[in-house]
Structure 1
């Protein structure tokens, strides 16, 4: 009986660890450089990780992207074939920064609001 208890505890720990949430909070994301945040946002869009995107995108663009994904979920994987999330060009705008990516299918506009980064536009 003791052996069963000793085996159960490590297995339970492994199961809980495997199911843990790997998403970053808005505060953790804002601890990144703006360039790293843009790269992370790009990667999460390509991966269609809406759990993480809820923290990265403003509500308008989150809802818009989610609807676009639902309509095109079958072809979304093609985006990763066309897109790399390596930053090609950075353009400073009034209070915002626009990031263009190599072989980019889209660009991102990031704004810092209350010390937190947020994607406020996807072109």
Structure 2
């Protein structure tokens, strides 16, 4: 399955009717008929118009649809929501993509320090501690 493109996701989110549809689906899977009825109470729009909005949301990766007999059931697609969240996170935390590699580097540095201490033995480590304390005093 492909990761939704953020530009498509945000383009789809740009319409208030589509945002309303997503809010309807936030409570769980919804039949198309319920979505059409709710949207028509919210805005003057035809059934084909609601279907077009659902298609845009599907194409953007924000919702999925499954058939159950003659009914179509729509639900939020977590991958689309995650794509939007990830894009927004990069705006607010531009260093976030580097967090994991830096954590890995810190782990390797700590391992190296432990290995050097183990190689020099406990007596050598005890000898160095007073000098370190003197330097920090």
TM-score of the pair, normalised by structure 1: 0.26
TM-score of the pair, normalised by structure 2: 0.24
Structure with the higher fraction of residues in helix conformation: 2
